[in-house]
Structure 1
Amino acid sequence: MIVYAGIDPVTGKRVYLRETIQGTDKAAHKRAEKTLNKLLAQADKQQTATSSVKFSFALEEWMRTNEIEESTSNTYRGYINRTIVPALGEQPVNKVSVRMLETFYSDLRRCRERCDGKPYVEYRKPDEHDCQKAKCRPHACSPMAQSTVRQIHAIISGTLDAAERWEWIDSNPARVARKPKQKRPEPTPPTPAEAARLSEEAFRIDDDWGTLVWLAMITGMRRGELAALRFSHIDLDQEVVWVHRNWVRGKEKDTKTHQRRRIALDSETVALLREQHDRVAERVGGAGAEFREDLFVFSSIETPDHTEPYSPNAMTPRYKKMATRLGINTHLHALRHYSATELLTAGVDLPTVSGRLGHGGGGATTLKVYAAWVAASDRKAAEILGSRMPKRRRD
């Protein structure tokens, strides 16, 4: 039994609802009539929406009512405008189906432009021009990354969840639609020898820079958390640092997981931070200002009074340039991996490592990212226990 249900807006192909009824007796005939009525009602529901709300409108309403960070909102807006609306925007929200979404994701994984497979030229200018000078080139399919498609799926799913709450649709098809599998995290921390070289080079360049790199290694703090760190967040007598702020796109905000965490410091790190405190106090006084505990620990040379933080966007290229000069292929965020893996390798328990990193999920995130090092730590624990057991005599 086949019933026409409209045109798939993603593929442009006709959509049919199908169901098979076995048998030729009277009972089978009744089942067929019942099934036909069901399919006709389903097709009618898909073709004649009870609401004229388009998916693009639902997206806008979800963005308007959803409480998310500005940086996240800007990222979502880019995906919506460039990818989602061109493909699904004109579709009534109650016609979005599981098959439609899976086809959409599959198309993106094949080509981010969702081309039809036919060759064409990517023109760089809309008006008449010299293609050679404008560097126009034939289109080459480039698949969209799995992580990006998953983000797009999250936007669509969030919108359809809202549409379901608002009673625009009966159920959210994105809830059961298959999305690309999440790639297993593969952290690549520097080796202890490389970390030592990076730290030495950082202090050779500048004491402030050396202290920042050292603190990143020891605490595993994110770059935005290092930028937002103030002297008032550090208790040198108790030897702890409180991490509860983050610097993102020129604004001070909560940490990524909206958690306030306490990180214990070793005596060497405390000594370095005391030196940083004294150095900044002298610098601020030399600039004709008064030192206050709420000043930022790290700042750029352009703001000697430390009223503005060292920009995270300046930290990353500076660190990368330093590492490249040393012949080490790494990046600033890898210092967070270094801190975690060194602790786990040393046998520190998972909840403690998770707490220092500020991971959510009670250690689930830490375990997922650093599974190999957790396994190594577990092996080390087994060897320690085994070494302490009495040895059995074997004949």
Structure 2
Amino acid sequence: MAAARSEGRQRGTIETRGDNLRVSVYAGLDPVTGKRVYLRDTIRGSDSAAMKRAKSKLNEFLVKVDKQRNAPSNVKLGPTIDKWLKMAELDDGTREMYRGYVERNIRPVLGDTPIAKVSTLSLESLYTELRRCRGQCDGKPFVEHRTEEEHDCAEVPKKTKKRCRPHQCRPLAESSVRQVHSIISGALTAAVRWDWIDSNPARLAQRPKQKAPEPDPPSPAEAARLVDAAFELDEDWGILVWLVMTTGIRRGEVCALKWSRVDLDEGTVDIRRSYTLRAGVGREKDTKTHQMRRIALDTETTVLLTEYKERCRQRFAGMGGELSKDMYVFTGLRDPDPTKPYSPHALSSRYKEMADRLGIDTHIHALRHYSATELLTAGVDLRTVAGRLGHGGGGATTLRVYAAWVAGADRKAAEILGARLPKRAPKPDKSM
């Protein structure tokens, strides 16, 4: 290799490498890995014109590094994220989930880094480390102690959750790394709005690709077995499973459904609210896409709900009460109080236990997939299916999630169209 020739300031160099020039500037230590970081670029050629371009690139790198070191804002990433979380329009569940990611995965590594010094490289390094080990260990064996008190690891009972164990690297899921990226990007975007930094480095950072959805609905035969088993267990439970299966509404939406939103004369239900339960505290909130939708009911579902409503009326009358529009349609099995909705967790658990007894590996949300795929397979247009499911984007989400079934419906449409065209008679063979 030709002898290196250095030009420029002490912090940066221009080296001759063969027939080209390489510009290199020291940019500090990576806050994630602790390794030295350099800004580098190769300039084609080694003549005076190439040297002029190399000096220009060297100055550009030096200005960039100086700007990071002498940034007007010394606010650190941790407090920036904290401020953004307080001000961002997020529901309580999402905010709590984000705080968990911040405390576990972001603050220990980049929390004390000034936001002006958070670079695209440091973010990509963080994502890489999280995909290697969610605990971001240094790769050396160590014991994970479950208590900070002095103890003898061998004396801790084996069945206790605080038992000390050798550390095993577990990668953070790709979807979770994307959540980490969303949090950092959201906070840094806010910092740009607040004039704390000039640009958001997270916009250029590469994060794990989003996996294509893989809906796994029960087959029609399995769906029939599930709904039959539900009615055998309890008529009220059967109605709930039937309604979810025929409308595709979400778990929280069926729990929040009140009689005021059920119009049995018109055969419709209005979906406006969802019910969540976190840390034993339940509350109503907007639907996932923050939009109201009206879903038409088929004749059989309308009849079943009418009969169910009459049973509820007689049941409450026997208890000295009266059925009102403000009461929830479905109430808990152990606590049939019409002023309290069915617990989303209890709903999922009961459905899963029922499916397991039948030997069917499924969950309550798969009924939503069943409703969507059956409609698409039957040839119902994408926009109508999206409206019933409450998907935003005019069907873009529905197309992304159920692409395989949309393709099947498109094939069916092509066959129908071809069948409607007049058949063409074969041309006679002129060679005969």
TM-score interval, normalised by the smaller of the two chains: over 0.9
Q: Does 39-48 or 183-192 show the bigger shift?
A: 39-48
Counterpart Cα distance in 2 of 1:358 and 1:33: 57
In structure 2, the residue corresponding to 1:44 is in which secondary structure? helix
Matching residue of 1:191: 219
Matching residue of 1:17: 39
Residues 73, 197 of structure 2: 8 Å contact kept: no
Matching residue of 2:187: 159
Residues 283, 305 of structure 1: 8 Å contact kept: no
Counterpart Cα distance in 1 of 2:41 and 2:367: 57
Matching residue of 2:368: 336
Counterpart Cα distance in 1 of 2:234 and 2:273: 25
Counterpart Cα distance in 1 of 2:292 and 2:363: 26
Deviations, residues 320-374 of structure 1 (Å, cap 9, x unaligned): 0000000101000000000000000111110000000000110000000000000
Between the two structures, name the one with larger relative contact order (CA 8 Å, sep ≥ 6).
1
**Is structure 2 residue 352 aligned with structure 1 residue 320?**
yes
Q: TM-score, normalised by structure 2?
A: 0.88
Counterpart Cα distance in 1 of 2:133 and 2:47: 50
Larger radius of gyration: 2
**Is structure 2 residue 420 aligned with structure 1 residue 388?**
yes
Cα RMSD of the aligned pairs, angstroms, is 1.5
Q: TM-score, normalised by structure 1?
A: 0.96
In structure 2, the residue corresponding to 1:3 is in which secondary structure? strand
Cα 1:47–1:391, aligned 2, differ >3 Å: closer, same or farther?
Answer: same
**Is structure 2 residue 294 aligned with structure 1 residue 262?**
yes
Matching residue of 2:264: 236
Which of 402, 408, 411 lines up with 1:370 in the alignment?
402
Cα displacement (A) at 1:169: 1.3
**Is structure 2 residue 81 aligned with structure 1 residue 59?**
yes
Counterpart Cα distance in 1 of 2:406 and 2:238: 29
Structure 1 letter corresponding to 2:375: L
In structure 1, the residue corresponding to 2:177 is in which secondary structure? helix
Matching residue of 1:247: 275
Which of 44, 47, 63 lines up with 1:41 in the alignment?
63
Which of 285, 295, 317 lines up with 2:317 in the alignment?
285
Counterpart Cα distance in 2 of 1:28 and 1:387: 68
Structure 1 letter corresponding to 2:266: Q
Structure 1 letter corresponding to 2:338: H
Matching residue of 1:96: 118
Cα displacement (A) at 1:111: 1.1
Residues 164, 171 of structure 1: 8 Å contact kept: yes
Residues 242, 260 of structure 1: 8 Å contact kept: yes
Structure 1 segments unaligned to the other structure (5+ residues): none
Structure 2 letter corresponding to 1:240: T
Counterpart Cα distance in 2 of 1:32 and 1:327: 69
Structure 2 segments unaligned to the other structure (5+ residues): 1-22, 158-162
Counterpart Cα distance in 2 of 1:22 and 1:211: 73
In structure 1, the residue corresponding to 2:74 is in which secondary structure? coil
Give the number of the structure whose residues are more often helix, by fraction.
1
Matching residue of 1:174: 202
Deviations, residues 282-331 of structure 1 (Å, cap 9, x unaligned): 22222222221111000014443401100111100100000000010100
